[in-house]
Structure 1
């Protein structure tokens, strides 16, 4: 049995008033919509390089999304058993 699907992922990055970079990852499967979140803070002693904050926040948001997907898959497997 062949199966093809296309999911849409949008990644939003923004910096808040305290200097933290935040990421919001939105996954739309057509059936389910999940939101992953990640945050990065620049240490006061470090040079402020926005690209690094974006990378860290995005990576953490994607990790959060991945964990949600794995948790859902595990629940689905458990209910089939």
Structure 2
């Protein structure tokens, strides 16, 4: 079976007072998901905005990847196949912006 698809993403980065927040939106054509990530600069460290951008973006992508896996596992279960891994649950303060 041959299959081709195009998924569209948009990533938004916001920085304010040494905190970078990223929102990434994924449109698969059938689902829309949003991942979030946050990074904070330690006041004792030099402020390098690129580092905050990279960390917050990576965390948003990790959040999005976890959501995609949960969707895939649910689809697999509905199709009668059991996932090889346990479905992911969110963990770590950064997903809710508590720690960066």
Q: Do they superpose with TM above 0.5?
A: yes
Cα distance, 1:19 vs structure 2: 2.5
Contact 2:18–2:47, Cα closer than 8 Å, also in 1:
no
Matched pairs, number: 80
- After TM superposition, the structure 1 = structure 2 runs for residues 1-81 of structure 1, keeping only pairs within 5 Å, are 1-16=1-16, 18-81=17-80
- Unpaired runs of 5+ residues, structure 2, are 81-100
Cα distance between partner residues in 2 of 1:33 and 1:80 = 21
Unaligned runs of 5+ in 1: none
Greater helix fraction, Structure 1 or Structure 2 = 1
Listed one character per residue, the Cα deviations across residues 36-64 of structure 1 (whole Å, up to 9, x for unaligned) are: 00000000110000000000000000000
The answer to whether the 8 A contact 2:24-2:60 is kept is yes
Distance 2:66 2:11 in 1: 16
Distance in 1 separating the partners of 2:48 and 2:40: 11
TM-score (norm 2): 0.77
